[in-house]
Chains A and B, each alone.
Chain A
């Protein structure tokens, strides 16, 4: 038998005990965090799960949590459990939760996704609830209804986005160019863009571009241009209709700005300069089409800027577009929870919560009374001309909503970006885009 040190068993025992203690501690902490929440109503309260997307600890998240507390105070029989995450993670989780029938009772949906959820049978029709309200008091109800073939209301407006022309006042002043007006046409835009484009260091490449033509966020790029030049993306019959003379004219105009007149960065340069949404806040472009929420990014860049209506196309059309983000109620939610969820929606649509939400500057309030208050019309931060967004919203078309919006617009965007990169011709890209987008729509079969 080998001779063993007498200290060995003691050391081993100590080591074993230390390891065991560490493991026990880990397991204890794990067990502490492993208690599930049944969400029961043992105290007679109805607990609803509220889902929304926002950056953690940011103004939107903070305001939403504050409003939830006020709602609970005003409705003592309702308790709200919050499930929030950033935009991407929220939707990744939501889609899995819907498949597993464990989605929140009420959640904030990007307006373009309402029909995706409705078409798969995940949402309650809110028409009955909304009939108690005067629809004329709220913005965006009609645009949400328009997305459903039968005109049902699958979401109630939470906040609205419409499009406008953002312009950098300092760059305009430095170049001696008059600021945009409501009468501007695409020719005026191009003429101003030429004067605003500057190569300050003489390396043969512009350091300031007059306009941002291309953006992967197509609502702020080719979509309104197509509509302004007389084309359309989705026809009234629900068929993709982008392959038209008007669309070709719009894309030819974009190509001219990027490759011929060189007053706008092409897609590759856009990425190289730091992505499309940083160009205006960093004063690399003097003008861009933007939705209301871009006010936040422009202000973050400390840009002195204004907004004007989108320019008019050859036939006087502006191609205004709007997206109405909406509260939706889970179809799987029992009646009691669905009613409590509707109370939350009613509360959020009220004047006080809408005023608080307006202060963030993320969306146009959907309560019409609030849109006429100084909280919206006379904000502390630029731009002063916020009425431009209301006018745009009044004339706006929706974004060709249907249950496969993400799929068909992705197919379209891939095809037309090829043309904007000069990898394919405009007619070929439009034909390919139309065929592939239509296939995506045709493949879908609505639930039940």
Chain B
């Protein structure tokens, strides 16, 4: 082998790392993109189904793309029922329930985590024990109670219970308050702060992520609730979105394409809400690290 050739310095082609990086990036994008596509497929299927005629909807083997798209399905949904009213009702109920649950669960959770109470553990266990009772078991006693209150066919049975704290909310908030160092409370007490001031000015700002989490969970649960609104609401102008969507189902007639269109439309308000509010949730999550 010629010496000169052996001694020649090895020059790495500059393009190689770039190629490697590019290849890596492309692979990553492909991986993430295919994952995203997979996740969006059910949504696309629902979108296409919402634009089919009923005959196309039930066709075997199924056709993927609606031909021609039945845009009138969406206008039919609006003609059949007052979906604007349903959306407003759902929004009012979900907002009021969320505010109530966050406030009351935070207070109860704080008391159980930070205050000296008799039978504190037993109270928490009792509250958590009610999680084991499915709603279907308690619906009739609740109905009887609300009937006595004169609350049937009003929003109150769907809101007021949330203002009395929920077991999940209590547990979540208690755990969050327990994670705050005791020193903060002691320092505030030395500075003359009372329990209310410690709760509102010291502890509550430190559990913003938990508050955001509880808000999201409560809003979603209330927004998507079916059984309670079915039982308590009877007037057409007081129904909620899920009831409106399911009300389109016929016993014999196939309305699946309309139900799908209505279900997709019912997603819009909540999607908008989360797009608008997501930065607050993120900020709430980040603030814990900064202030803690």
Contact = CB atoms under 8 A, between A and B. Distances in A.
A89 B239 CA distance: 12
B243 A89 contact: yes
B154 A33 contact: yes
Max chain A C-beta neighbours (<10 A), residue from B58, B93, B96, B246: B58
Nearest to A27: B96
A235 interface: no
Contacts of A362: 252
B231 interface: yes
A187 B95 CA distance: 64
Max chain A C-beta neighbours (<10 A), residue from B55, B62, B159: B55
A56 B152 contact: no
A23 B102 CA distance: 13
Given A30-B96, A33-B89, A284 B60 contact: yes
A58 B80 contact: yes
Contact of B143 (A54, A86, A100): A100
A287 to B, nearest CB: 16
Given A85-B230, A300-B55, A30 B92 contact: yes
Interface in A141-169: none
A273 B58 CA distance: 9
B3 interface: no
Contacts of B140: 96, 99-100
Contacts, number: 134
A99 B141 CA distance: 9
Interface residues of B, number: 48
B253 interface: yes
A284 B59 CA distance: 9
B224 to A, nearest CB: 15
A278 B238 CA distance: 33
A92 interface: yes
B161 interface: no
A85 B152 contact: no
A102 interface: yes
B147 A86 contact: no
B144 interface: yes
B251 interface: yes
A119 interface: no
Interface in A61-87: 82-87
B252 A33 contact: no
Contacts of B88: 29
Interface string B83-125: 0000011001101100100000000000000000000000000
B144 A100 contact: yes
A279 B235 CA distance: 36
B269 interface: no
Contact of B247 (A55, A277, A279, A301): A55
Contacts of B96: 26-27, 30
Contacts of B214: none
Interface string B195-207: 0000000000000
18 contacts: A23-B99, A26-B92, A29-B92, A55-B249, A56-B247, A57-B81, A83-B234, A86-B246, A86-B248, A86-B250, A89-B243, A89-B246, A96-B143, A278-B60, A279-B60, A281-B55, A297-B254, A300-B253
